[in-house]
Amino acid sequence: MMRAYIKFADTLSTSIGKAFSWCIVILMGGTCYEVTMAYIFNKPTLWNFDFSMQMYGAILMMSGAYCLATESHVRGDVIYRLFKPRTQGWIDLILYFIFFFPGVIALAFYGFEYAALAWKIKETSWSSPAQINIYMAKSLIPAAGVFLTIQGVAEVFRSIICIQTGHWPARMVVVEETEQILMRTAQDEDQKDVI
């Protein structure tokens, strides 16, 4: 049951992360449009700054669960990686309950209230002359909390499985450390030199 839930959560998190990664393309299009309008036609837009802020916000908020599922968050693991997997599992399990869940559940719960109020008053950007609508973007706050909670439960299950078996369950998508990529590249070049 735990492995099935992990697969469900990983699939959901990676799908949401990949879907929202397309915001980068939209953001690039908006930036190119703004540069063209401002520097070629001398008619800068009023809305593009807020638009780009919303796109950045969407990417940031909705990439959290993806980063958790793929272990691509920045992690200070100088000492952690020296421990045996069971010890790592215990550390992760305890820290998820002490630090992770209180924060993401608060994000989902209070974010819902925050977004609901924004929808109720049809909130617009107060700092922009364009006064664009921001209530839709604020809906991503509780959504991010919910997706992080779903993925967090999967990470707790991963920790429990690691504590029981002594091995971490496999991930759908593995993000390699830069040092591992560089070491593998150097080894491949050394092997080519030998041949």
Q: How wide is the angle at C-alpha 111 spanned by C-alphas 106 and 116, nearest 5°?
A: 145
* CA distance linking residue 195 with residue 185, whole number of Å: 16
Q: Which are the contacts of 5, defined by CB distance < 8 A and separation ≥ 6?
A: 153, 154, 157
Crossing angle, helix 2-21 and helix 23-35, to 10 degrees?
10
> pTM of the full predicted structure?
0.83
* CA distance linking residue 75 with residue 25, whole number of Å: 28
pLDDT at 129: 75
Identify residue 171 by its one-letter amino acid code. Answer: R
How is the chain split among helix, strand and coil, in percent rounded to 5? 75, 0, 25
How confident is the prediction along the chain (195 residues), in pLDDT tens digits per residue? 999 999 999 999 999 999 999 999 999 999 999 999 999 999 998 888 888 888 898 999 999 999 999 988 877 778 888 999 999 999 999 999 999 999 999 999 999 999 999 999 988 877 777 788 888 889 999 999 999 999 999 999 999 999 999 999 988 876 666 677 778 888 888 777 766
pLDDT at 150: 97
Q: Which are the contacts of 84, defined by CB distance < 8 A and separation ≥ 6?
A: 166
* CA distance linking residue 166 with residue 159, whole number of Å: 10
* CA distance linking residue 61 with residue 19, whole number of Å: 13
Q: Tell me how far apart the terminal alpha carbons of the chain are, to the nearest angstrom.
A: 49
- Residue with the two structure tokens 């041949």: 195
pLDDT at 76: 76
pLDDT at 69: 93
